[in-house]
Structure 1
C-alpha cells in the first residue's frame, strides 16, 4: 500500500488514460485531436517501459523474420481509424500482411467455406499486423504531441478523489488528478477492480497457444481456420518485408485446446510440437519446418455489468474480452475508442464536464449491446463447433457447404467483414 504521507501533490489533467497498449494509445491520439475550446491535457499511464521502434517492450524478436508473437487482425474500419491518426503509413512501411482469402473448414466432417476479396472486387479482406508495429507507429505520433504526457513504468496502486475530480495514486506515491479516468488496462483491469465494478466472467476450460511458424508451402495470403472438437486452430499469414515479393511462408498461429492438452503441447520439443501441429492442420501447408518460442494463456470471457462510474469509464478488454477465434478483440476495443472520443468531443462542444453521467451513458448505450452480441456469437460458434453429437455435426457441415454455394450470401458476409463495426458510426 502507498503511504498517504508520502503522496505528492496531485498533477492535474483533463483526462487520465490508464493502459498504453494499442487501445489506450489510439484513444489518446483521438482525444488529442479535440482542440476546442483548447486542447485537452492528457496523461497516458503505462505499467511497461517506453515503446521504441528498435527495442520494443516485448519478448525478444523471433526467428526467422523477427516476428512479434502477438498479432492483430485489423478490419477495414480499424485501418481507416489508424490512417486518420497518421499511423497507418508507418505500419505498412514496417510490415502489414494483407490477406485476400479466408478458408474455414470443419475437422469433423466435410463442411468448408471459402471467402475471397475478389467476390466483392476488393483489394483484400484486412491486414494481419504485429502488435509491435502498431504500437511503434502510434507512439511515433504521440511523442510529437505536447499535450499528451506519457507516464511509463507506472503502476496504479489506488483510486481517490471525488466523483467530480478523480485521483489515481501510483505505487511510488505520485498522484494524478483528472475530470475523467479511462481504464484501457486490459482484461485484468486494476482500475475496474479498484472501482469495484461488477463483472460477469466464465472460463472456457481452454488455453490458446500462440507462436510463429514457417511452413513448407506458402500461405497464399490466406487466413486459414480449422475447427476441431478441442477448439479452433488458426494460421494467420505474415509478411517478412514491408513490400511483398513472391512467396511467403511465415504464419502466426492461435491454437485453442483444452487445458490438459495445452500443457502437454507446451512441454513438447520443437520437433515434436511441429509434428503435432502439422497433423492438426492436416498438412494443409505442408510440414511445419520451424516454430518459435510458444506462449499460452487461459481463455476467459468477461463483460462488465456497467462501463462507467462517476468520473470513470472502461474501454476495450477492461470492459469486455472475448474468445480469440474470430480475432475481433482489438477491433471491438478500437470501436469503443471511436465512440468515446465522439462523446467526449460532444461534451466539450456543450461545455459539459468530461465525466458527465449523460456522456458516459451514451457511450455505454452505443457500445454495450454490440459487444454483448459479439460475446454471444463467439460463444455460439464455440458451442456449435465443439459439439460432438452426430445430428449437430451433420447440420453444421451441411450449413457450411450450403453457405459456400450461395454467392450472394457470401458477398454480404464479406461486406460485413470489410465494414467492421457499424455501431461506431457517429450518433447525433
Structure 2
C-alpha cells in the first residue's frame, strides 16, 4: 500500500527558475552538487537571499513506500538539527512522515560492566532527539526546494568535469549541458567527485569495521530509549522507532561482520539478542540487512576561492555517536550564514572573506568530534583487563557526576552557545 502522506512527484524544468542562459551556458550564483540531506538543506537555507541557486543531484528522492516499511538508513537528529529543519520549513513534513523521539540513552561496556544513562528530564527537555529515516529527511527538504522559485533542480544529473577560474567555475554535466557559478559547493558525499576534481586531499584511516544495519522487533518495549553496548569487536546500537521496533546499527570487525552477514535470520536474531544481553528480551530481525565499510576522513581544506565542501565531502566520522548528519547540517547552516553576511556587506559570496568564516567556524568542531570518536573507538576496542576496568570505572563515575553528564547532553543536543543562527533557540 502506498503511503498516503507522500506527495506525488512535482513537475519542474531543469532550465527554469533562477537561471540566465548565456551562449547555452546557464549562470547561477550558487551551485550545490549533491541534493541529499545536507546539500538540500544548504540550498534551502540560501533561498530567499536574492541568489540564483542550482542543485545537481543524480537521483530523485524516494517519494513513496509501503506503509509500515522502515528504511535501513536512519539518523538520530539533535535539537540543533531539528531547529534548522524547522526554520527551513521541513520539520512539519518530517513529523508527518515519521519522527520518533528518544527520551533517554543507556550505554554500557561488555567487558567491564560500566554503565551510564542520560535522561532528557534532568535537562528539562522533552527528549534527547528524534530517530528519523534518511529518506524522510531528504524528501521533506526536497519538497521545500520545489516550492522555492529561486532554486533550480537538475535531477537526474551528474557532473563530468569542473573548471575553475578567478571569479567563476564552469561545470560540465554528463549530458553535455554547461553551468556557471560564482560559488560551487560540494555536498556529494564521502567519495566526493568535486573534491577529487579540484585536488583537495584528505587525511584519515580505515576503521577495518563495517556497520551492519537492520530493523528488529524486540520482545519488550524499547521505552523510547537508545541502547548502546560496547563489544570488543565494535559497538551495537538499538534506536527506538515509533511502531515499537528498533533500528539496529552494529559496527563490527571485518571478520565478525562477514560472520553475521552469512547467518540465517534466525541465527542472526539469536546472535543479536545475546550481544544486547537481552536488555529488550529476544530480538527478531525483520527484512533485509546491509553493511557499510567505515573510515575516518577529513579534508585538508574546506574552501578555495569559489568552492566549499560540506557534510561528508568535508568529513566522515564513525557512526557510534550518531553525529554525522548533525555535523553536516551545522556545516550547511554556517555556510549559509557566511553567504548571507557576505551579501549584506557587499562582499563576493565565493571570496575567501566569506568562505574562511565558514571554515573557521566548522573545521575545529568537526576535527574535535572526529578525534573524540577515534578515541572512544580505540579505548572501547581494547580488551586488556586493566583498560576494561578503567573505562568501566570511568563510565560509572561519570554517571554519578550530574553536572558533567549535563555538559555531555547539552553538547549532543546542540544547546551550547557556538551555533549558527539557524540552529539557535528561538528568541522568547
TM-score (norm 2): 0.91
User: Shift of the alpha carbon at 1:408?
Assistant: 2.8
Asked if 1:47 is matched to 2:43, the reply is: no
Question: Hey, what's the Cα distance between the residues in 2 that align with 1:44 and 1:424?
Answer: 25
Preserved CA contact (<8 Å) 1:213 1:288: yes
Asked if 1:321 is matched to 2:316, the reply is: yes
- 1:208-219 alignment, distance < 5 Å: 208-219=211-222
Distance verdict in 2 for CA 1:228–1:212, change over 3 Å? same
Asked if 1:68 is matched to 2:67, the reply is: no
Asked if 1:11 is matched to 2:26, the reply is: yes
Preserved CA contact (<8 Å) 1:77 1:421: no
Asked if 1:26 is matched to 2:36, the reply is: no
User: Shift of the alpha carbon at 1:210?
Assistant: 0.6
Query: Partner of 1:292: helix, strand, or coil?
Result: strand
Preserved CA contact (<8 Å) 1:46 1:154: yes
- 1:259-270 alignment, distance < 5 Å: 259-270=254-265
- 1:353-368 alignment, distance < 5 Å: 353-368=348-363
Question: Hey, what's the Cα distance between the residues in 2 that align with 1:118 and 1:324?
Answer: 25
**Aligned match of 1:4:** none
Number of residue-to-residue matches in the alignment: 400
Question: Hey, what's the Cα distance between the residues in 1 that align with 2:279 and 2:68?
Answer: 22
Question: Hey, what's the Cα distance between the residues in 2 that align with 1:212 and 1:52?
Answer: 19
Which shows bigger deviation, 288-297 or 97-106?
Answer: 288-297
Query: Partner of 1:208: helix, strand, or coil?
Result: strand
Asked if 1:389 is matched to 2:389, the reply is: no
**Aligned match of 2:156:** 153
Question: Hey, what's the Cα distance between the residues in 1 that align with 2:156 and 2:401?
Answer: 53
Question: Hey, what's the Cα distance between the residues in 1 that align with 2:288 and 2:184?
Answer: 37
Question: Hey, what's the Cα distance between the residues in 2 that align with 1:145 and 1:52?
Answer: 20
Preserved CA contact (<8 Å) 1:165 1:180: yes
Preserved CA contact (<8 Å) 1:367 1:423: no
Asked if 1:279 is matched to 2:271, the reply is: no
User: Shift of the alpha carbon at 1:108?
Assistant: 0.4
Deviation readout 1:68-114 (Å, 9 max, x if unpaired): 11111111011011011111111111110100010000000220001
User: Shift of the alpha carbon at 1:51?
Assistant: 2.5
TM-score (norm 1): 0.91
Question: Hey, what's the Cα distance between the residues in 1 that align with 2:296 and 2:200?
Answer: 16
Of 118, 122, 125, which residue of structure 2 is paired with 1:115?
118
**Aligned match of 1:237:** 240
Question: Hey, what's the Cα distance between the residues in 1 that align with 2:295 and 2:27?
Answer: 36
**Aligned match of 2:425:** none
Query: Partner of 1:352: helix, strand, or coil?
Result: coil
Question: Hey, what's the Cα distance between the residues in 1 that align with 2:420 and 2:48?
Answer: 18
Distance verdict in 2 for CA 1:421–1:163, change over 3 Å? farther
User: Shift of the alpha carbon at 1:426?
Assistant: 5.1
Preserved CA contact (<8 Å) 2:317 2:324: yes
Of 95, 101, 106, which residue of structure 2 is paired with 1:103?
106
Distance verdict in 2 for CA 1:65–1:420, change over 3 Å? farther
**Aligned match of 2:12:** none
Asked if 1:205 is matched to 2:208, the reply is: yes
**Aligned match of 2:366:** 371
Of 311, 322, 325, which residue of structure 2 is paired with 1:330?
325
Preserved CA contact (<8 Å) 2:410 2:416: no
Question: Hey, what's the Cα distance between the residues in 2 that align with 1:196 and 1:422?
Answer: 34
Preserved CA contact (<8 Å) 1:322 1:378: yes
Question: Hey, what's the Cα distance between the residues in 2 that align with 1:51 and 1:416?
Answer: 31
| Gap regions ≥5 residues in structure 2 | 1-22, 423-428
User: Shift of the alpha carbon at 1:155?
Assistant: 1.3
**Aligned match of 2:185:** 182
User: Shift of the alpha carbon at 1:289?
Assistant: 2.4
| Gap regions ≥5 residues in structure 1 | 1-7, 56-60, 241-247
Question: Hey, what's the Cα distance between the residues in 1 that align with 2:148 and 2:228?
Answer: 41
User: Shift of the alpha carbon at 1:413?
Assistant: 2.3
